[in-house]
Amino acid sequence: MPETRRGRPTMNDVAAAAGVALKTVSRVVNNEPGVNASTAERVHAAIESLGYRRNDGARTLRRGRTASIGLVIEDVADPFYSGLSRAVEDIALAEGCLVFTGSSGEDPARERELVLAFCARRVDGLIIVPAGTDHDYLTPEVEAGIAAVFADRPPGAGPDADTVVCDNAGGARAGTEHLLAHGHRRIAFLADAPSIFTAAERLRGYREALAAAGLPYDEGLVAMGRPDQARVLADLRRLLRLADPPTALFTGNGQITVATLRALAGTAGPAPVREAPSSGPVAIIGFDDFEPADLLGITVIAQDPAGMGRAAAELLFRRLSGESGPPQRLELPTRLVVRGSGERPPA
Amino acid sequence: MPETRRGRPTMNDVAAAAGVALKTVSRVVNNEPGVNASTAERVHAAIESLGYRRNDGARTLRRGRTASIGLVIEDVADPFYSGLSRAVEDIALAEGCLVFTGSSGEDPARERELVLAFCARRVDGLIIVPAGTDHDYLTPEVEAGIAAVFADRPPGAGPDADTVVCDNAGGARAGTEHLLAHGHRRIAFLADAPSIFTAAERLRGYREALAAAGLPYDEGLVAMGRPDQARVLADLRRLLRLADPPTALFTGNGQITVATLRALAGTAGPAPVREAPSSGPVAIIGFDDFEPADLLGITVIAQDPAGMGRAAAELLFRRLSGESGPPQRLELPTRLVVRGSGERPPA
DNA sequence: CTGAAAGCGCTAACAA
DNA sequence: TTGTTAGCGCTTTCAG
């Protein structure tokens, strides 16, 4: 019967129970060679009867690597980031690594807090979807050997690090071109605040497509801001009340697409007024695929969240296994998925 | 200039640089009272110039608590669990606790592997959505003081632990009653495999509602199995080809609802044959709300994933702060959300 | 094949 | 106010 010690049994307890030295237990626990089978047997029995489990914290302290990584995203509850998370998790687990996850909620202070907390736990590496633009706080950590990979958005000021983004501008260009090809000339652009990298890039792509088609850039057709329902509804009402309203909408991410659809459907407060009642339904293309976009017939510019997570994790583990070289920057492709909403002709 | 030591500076390095004793650095780092302001200043300067950051692993080893918890869910990429995760994260962070997250993918071996890995890291507590039914492996851990809360499903054999579930049977009963009240007599039930607790409970509720209405239970109207598109499509085809086909469907979770809608829409392979072409669209109610269910007009039995995560986390932290007493079992309510699809009359 | 001793970076307990 | 000593549970090094 084990003595009534506080807390869990340690290797020392096991050693005492098995009548061997501490180091022998360590050998058995870690499957190190060179232990007599019968000795090992006794040790195993002691482990079993005491309910011993190695303390990885202590192990880590001695060995240097924690076999854990930190993942900081914008929000796990957002399907884009949860898809990315799952891919990161899977690769980490395959590498024998556990994952600390944290949502920054687009708050730079919280991002920093999470990252530094992970660093204090001495994670081996980090995958970060940056919320802020100042990553100087990371420099000492990176210099101390913590590997960092940025995903979805590049870091702001701070250490040069590997980055995985998607082809935001290209995707937005393709979407806009698609609407132009279907005859639209007044295309509104609704997106996140321009301070967010992806939104700025998508705006760039939209503008490039307009320019290439010889069309003017009309600021009145652009509405950028928080992705919440109220803001989107208000902006949409303004847009549709214009003297020369848009015949098509390009929405800059999944949340905004859904909010826009709700606003158009009137599910979210009063439906935005249509000044020209004769006009058909407005065309719409959204950046980011979302779960039942197929059921709703929404044409989208899809990116692959799991693919992004995988790319970031693979990059990270390559660094952790010693690969050196200059920081890499991967740009993942996007894909136009035609489903009907983006192919409606102008009214 | 710091010496070229391997790895990161330690408290000892800081102490040497500041010309004070180790313990003084410790006091400053931990904001312990009783340090002369000017001494503290020198220490801070040394910390800054060396890029020192406390090693929480070592701290943990000494203090006993790791200020981390483990969260094992079925799949972070599933919106239900990602909503739950976010709530857990938020509460944990507020408690100064970091979260290890892992997806079991409904695989008991992986659940066990994750849980035990978290225990080896000496997490203070666990929140587990059990995939398996045998939780004996947890007993030594719980006896050693790791708090465990089960969420969404109760544990199988194993230690008695706090559990948070939703009123699965009641929700399914309410949904079925709603369809009955709208005149349906042939209601199909499509759900997860009955080995999964929530599916079994929802089936129970469905049966109770039928029984209360004096209707027979027809096994031919029940299709339980994996939530993938192919299985749902096949089952739906079978159901709709019955001599006396269902006029309404009750779908047992979010994934199955979406798969069913896809099958009905013909988005997922050939549309299931309708033997009676004169009949209107089949009525449908789904268990679990999902993102644009409002846009699709789908009536659902909604539960609150974030609420479940919050409840589980609050229970866990209450235990961690010493609350004793018998294991609690919380049952969260569900809510019928009427949106049209569940109110269609029978053909 | 087995073991004793040192020490990873930190905090707790106790001097000075 | 500051410092000294011991030791958390483990791995590493080196001896038997």
Residues of B in contact with A5 (CB under 8 A): none
The rounded mean pLDDT for chain A is 93
Q: Does residue B271 sit at the A interface (CB-CB below 8 Å)? A: no
**Nearest-CA neighbor of A312 among A171, A169, A168, A155?**
A155
pLDDT digits (tens, 9 = 90+) for B35-93: 899 999 999 999 999 999 999 999 999 998 999 999 999 999 999 999 999 999 999 99
User: So what's the pLDDT on residue A253?
Assistant: 94
Confidence of residue A302 (pLDDT cuts 50, 70, 90): very high
- pLDDT > 80? residue A5: no
Stretch B142-171: mean pLDDT, rounded?
94
Going by the DSSP 8-state scheme, the letter that residue A285 receives in this structure is: E
User: So what's the pLDDT on residue B229?
Assistant: 94
- pLDDT > 60? residue A284: yes
**Nearest-CA neighbor of B342 among B288, B290, B301?**
B301
CB A329 within 8 A of CB A153: no
CB B251 within 8 A of CB B301: no
Of all residues in chain B, what percent carry a pLDDT higher than 70? 95
Answer whether B296 sits within 8 Å of A296, measured CB to CB. Answer: yes
For A72, phi then psi, to 5°, come to -115, 115
CB A104 within 8 A of CB A131: yes
A4-18, A325-339, B147-161: range with lowest mean pLDDT: A4-18
Q: Does residue B109 sit at the A interface (CB-CB below 8 Å)? A: no
pLDDT digits (tens, 9 = 90+) for B13-24: 999 999 999 999
**Nearest-CA neighbor of A180 among A222, A212, A203?**
A212
CA dist., res. A214 & res. A138, Å (int): 44
The rounded mean pLDDT for chain B is 93
pLDDT digits (tens, 9 = 90+) for B204-230: 999 999 999 999 999 999 999 999 999
**Nearest-CA neighbor of A286 among A337, A231, A344?**
A337
Distances (CA, A) of A341 to A139, A174, A210, A282, A344: 46, 15, 20, 8, 6
Residue of B nearest to A297 (CA): B267
**Nearest-CA neighbor of A168 among A130, A129, A192, A204?**
A204
Stretch A307-321: mean pLDDT, rounded?
97
Helix (H, G, I), strand (E, B) or coil at A82: helix
For A223, phi then psi, to 5°, come to -135, 110
Q: What is the CA radius of gyration of chain B?
A: 27
CA dist., res. B13 & res. B20, Å (int): 10
- pLDDT > 60? residue B10: yes
Stretch A68-90: mean pLDDT, rounded?
97
Residue B179: how many other CB atoms lie within 10 Å: 27
User: So what's the pLDDT on residue B279?
Assistant: 52
User: So what's the pLDDT on residue A156?
Assistant: 86
Confidence of residue A274 (pLDDT cuts 50, 70, 90): low
Per-residue three-class SS string for chain B: CCCCCCCCCCHHHHHHHHCCCHHHHHHHHCCCCCCCHHHHHHHHHHHHHHCCCCCHHHHHHHHCCCCEEEEEECCCCCHHHHHHHHHHHHHHHHCCCEEEEEECCCCHHHHHHHHHHHHHCCCCEEEECCCCCECHHHHHHHHCCCEEEEECCCCCECCCCEEEEECHHHHHHHHHHHHHHCCCCCEEEEECCCCCHHHHHHHHHHHHHHHHCCCCCCHHHEEECCCCHHHHHHHHHHHHCCCCCCCEEEECCHHHHHHHHHHHHCCCCCCCCCCCCCCCCCEEEEECCCCCHHHHCCEEEECCHHHHHHHHHHHHHHHHCCCCCCCCEEEECCEEECCCCCCCCCC
User: So what's the pLDDT on residue B171?
Assistant: 98
- pLDDT > 70? residue A275: no
Confidence of residue B272 (pLDDT cuts 50, 70, 90): confident
- pLDDT > 70? residue B277: no
A319-329 as b/e: b if 16+ CB within 10 A: bbeeeeeeeee
CB A193 within 8 A of CB A200: no
Confidence of residue B107 (pLDDT cuts 50, 70, 90): very high
Stretch A229-253: mean pLDDT, rounded?
95
Q: Does residue B4 sit at the A interface (CB-CB below 8 Å)? A: no
- pLDDT > 90? residue A35: no
User: So what's the pLDDT on residue A92?
Assistant: 98
Tokens 């200059």 -> residue:
A326
> How many angstroms separate the CA of B66 from the C1' of D2?
29
Residue of A nearest to B80 (CA): A77
Q: How many CB pairs under 8 A join A and B?
A: 167
pLDDT digits (tens, 9 = 90+) for A91-128: 999 999 999 999 999 999 999 999 999 999 999 999 99
CB B250 within 8 A of CB B172: yes
- pLDDT > 50? residue B240: yes
Stretch A63-74: mean pLDDT, rounded?
96
**Nearest-CA neighbor of A319 among A148, A158, A134?**
A148
Residue B314's contacts (CB-CB under 8 Å, 6 or more residues apart) are B91
Confidence of residue A7 (pLDDT cuts 50, 70, 90): confident
Tokens 């702001």 -> residue:
A156
How long a stretch of residues is chain A? 347
- More confident call, A267 vs A139: A139
Residue B88's contacts (CB-CB under 8 Å, 6 or more residues apart) are B69, B71, B99, B127, B309, B310, B312, B313
pLDDT digits (tens, 9 = 90+) for A173-201: 999 999 999 999 999 999 999 999 999 99
Confidence of residue B4 (pLDDT cuts 50, 70, 90): very low
User: So what's the pLDDT on residue B157?
Assistant: 84
Going by the DSSP 8-state scheme, the letter that residue A138 receives in this structure is: G
CB A221 within 8 A of CB A252: no
Q: Most distant CA pair in chain B: distance in Å?
A: 90
> How many angstroms separate the CA of B125 from the C1' of C16?
41
Confidence of residue B159 (pLDDT cuts 50, 70, 90): confident
CB B282 within 8 A of CB B275: no
CA dist., res. B76 & res. A113, Å (int): 23
User: So what's the pLDDT on residue B274?
Assistant: 58
Nearest to A77 among B82, B118, B261 (CB): B82
CB A54 within 8 A of CB A42: no
- pLDDT > 90? residue B273: no
Q: Which residues touch strand D (CB under 7 A)?
A: A 7-8, 10-12, 22-23, 26, 29-30, 54-55, 58-59, 61-63; B 20-24, 27, 33-36, 38-40, 58, 61-62
